[in-house]
Amino acid sequence: MKLVNDVTVWFLKRRIERIEHFMTNPVETQLAIFSDLLHTARYTEWGQQYQYAQIKTIREYREQVPVSTYEDIFPYLERVLKGEPNVLWPTQAEWFSKSSGTTNARSKYLPVTPEALEDCHYMGGKDMMTLLIHNRPNTQVYEGKGLSIGGTLHPNPYNPNTQAGDVSAVIMQNLPTWAQFLRTPPLEVALMDKWEEKLDRMAEICSEENVTSILGVPTWTIVLLDRIMKRKGASSMLDVWPDFEVFVHGAVAFHPYRELFMTKYFPSNQVTYLETYNASEGFIAIQDDLSRVGEMLLMLDYGIFYEFMPMEELGNKYPRTLTLDEVELDKNYALVISTNAGLWRYIIGDTVKFTSKYPFRIKVSGRTKHFINAFGEEVIVENAEAAITEACNRTGAIVSDFTAGPVYMGDGSRGRHEWIIEFSKEPGSRELFAQVLDETLRHVNSDYDAKRYQDMALLPPLIHFVAPGTFYTWMGQRNKLGGQNKVPRLSNDRTYLEAILETIG
């Protein structure tokens, strides 16, 4: 496939000029996106309600259009999901990306319009490889196949004539024929909804291919690679894929897994690790400099207009937001976006910090709420509290305090959640309490449920039932006693867990 590699690399190299243009002219690029979005949507119901045709400046836009959460705009989204045209965007959506994290439903559904698919998600995929080639100009990555670990699709529950699913599945389903030729496994396998069978088939097929790149979430990638190594009796994945070049990762923090990939799976400096930030709401950032681990270039010409909300503004009815030219380095901002999918001043739920300006690079610093997302499960506090409440109801227990965090995957071991729970009234059965906690989390959070399927990525939660006074002692040791200080319910790392476990001894 040398000819394919040479032609593809030549084509993608030409795109670097466009990237360099918005890197040099970031504010002007964003202003052009802003004007185009409002002009396109001015005759939609939303656009007429907020007088888009009369808005001339970003200041007027901030003053006239509210900042919205998923719950705020759901009445409009529900109509879009049911097929009503011209509500938020003039082009009707036939695809919807699904993710968890909303407080009032098991999953949230976001429109993927033709413009968002072509000018945002596909553009991001091309630029991802453009930036790889820019860093590795002699790459031979297209002499082999790209392995994509995607999700599944199903009929939209609000309108069965349209489809919904993980954004990765929406993208794969709509790839042109030439792009399907460059990837593996076949689409009918990649989109299977039975994960156990799917991973077995992927291991069977991909272990016989010349795979040179992987695009996927680290947690699911680990599960698949372990199966392939077992199947082939390999000491590393380079025994199976000697020409492997790049792992493109996203969705969860990579730092807990980096050493595992570099020592167990791909023990060679020939392998590159490239980070992306492709959310259900849009393709947002790509690592442009391989020496800047954890930092990504904010992609400014994908039909997304960005605002950045200082963390102290969260919860305000009329929060203050900043544009690119107003942000500061190393400060946490909640991401607010307006997009060519019809999301307007939408709080995406992620927080970012700027690591450089001109060009603007970011790193994802967390979520706007306490959460666990070490494996792509996006468990939020509301999910955890619902699970605790149900477990108490079923076992007669009363919980006084709790916290939870991840147990990261290790060499040959799966991940799980670890809980520390203190009771004022013990459960009638600790085993039943743990079972109900897990079952309820699976019920209220579809991403957690997927990771827990047949224990493939996540094992059942590990729970420490601790003595009364444990959390009080720990808070006292931190000088955090008092009404304004609260036990953190969830954390995406093990800092709190380790400290409390030390207190227990």
Contacts of 166 (CB under 8 A, 6+ apart): 97, 98, 99, 150, 151, 152
Give just the sign of the alpha carbon dihedral 367, 373, 379, 385.
Answer: negative
Least confident of 130-139, 254-263, 397-406, 413-422: 254-263
Confidence of residue 282 (pLDDT cuts 50, 70, 90): very high
Tens digit of each residue's pLDDT (9 = 90 or more) over 318-337:
899 999 999 999 998 999 99
329: tokens are 């380095």
Residue 209 near residue 145, CB atoms below 8 Å:
yes
Q: What is the pLDDT of residue 149?
A: 83
Per DSSP, the three-state class of 2 is helix
Whether 302 has a pLDDT exceeding 90, the answer reads yes
Tens digit of each residue's pLDDT (9 = 90 or more) over 458-505:
999 999 999 988 988 898 887 675 445 578 889 988 999 999 999 887
Q: What is the pLDDT of residue 10?
A: 61
- Tell if the pTM clears 0.85, that is, is over it: no
The more confident residue out of 285 and 219 is: 285
Whether 107 has a pLDDT exceeding 90, the answer reads no
What are the start-end ranges of the H helices in 330-401? 381-395
Q: CA angle at residue 38 from 32 to 42, to 5 degrees? A: 150
Indicate the average pLDDT of the chain. 90
Tens digit of each residue's pLDDT (9 = 90 or more) over 424-462:
789 999 999 999 999 999 999 999 999 999 998 899 999
Whether 100 has a pLDDT exceeding 80, the answer reads no
CATH for 1-303 (1.10.3470, 2.60.40, 3.40.50, 1.10.150): 3.40.50
186 phi, psi to nearest 5 deg: -55, 155
Q: How many whole angstroms separate alpha carbon 290 and alpha carbon 134?
A: 10
Check residue 297 and report its DSSP letter. E
Q: What is the pLDDT of residue 184?
A: 93
Residue 163 near residue 173, CB atoms below 8 Å:
yes
Contacts 24+ apart (CB under 8 A), 429-433: 429/395, 430/463, 430/465, 432/391, 432/394, 432/395, 433/391, 433/392, 433/394, 433/395, 433/397, 433/463
Confidence of residue 4 (pLDDT cuts 50, 70, 90): low
Whether 345 has a pLDDT exceeding 90, the answer reads yes
Q: What is the mean pLDDT of residues 335-349?
A: 96
Least confident of 7-21, 342-356, 397-411: 7-21
Check residue 141 and report its DSSP letter. G
Q: What is the pLDDT of residue 485?
A: 59
Q: What is the pLDDT of residue 103?
A: 46
Whether 114 has a pLDDT exceeding 90, the answer reads yes
How far, in whole angstroms, is CA 298 from its chain's centroid?
A: 15
Q: What is the pLDDT of residue 504?
A: 84
Tens digit of each residue's pLDDT (9 = 90 or more) over 467-477:
988 988 898 88
Q: How many whole angstroms separate alpha carbon 289 and alpha carbon 295?
A: 8
Q: What is the pLDDT of residue 409?
A: 87
The more confident residue out of 400 and 474 is: 474
Confidence of residue 340 (pLDDT cuts 50, 70, 90): very high
Q: What is the mean pLDDT of residues 47-62?
A: 97
Residue 55 near residue 63, CB atoms below 8 Å:
no
Q: How many whole angstroms separate alpha carbon 365 and alpha carbon 386?
A: 26
Name the residue among 303, 434, 310 with its Cα closest to residue 33.
Answer: 303
Domain boundaries, the chain: 1-303, 371-504
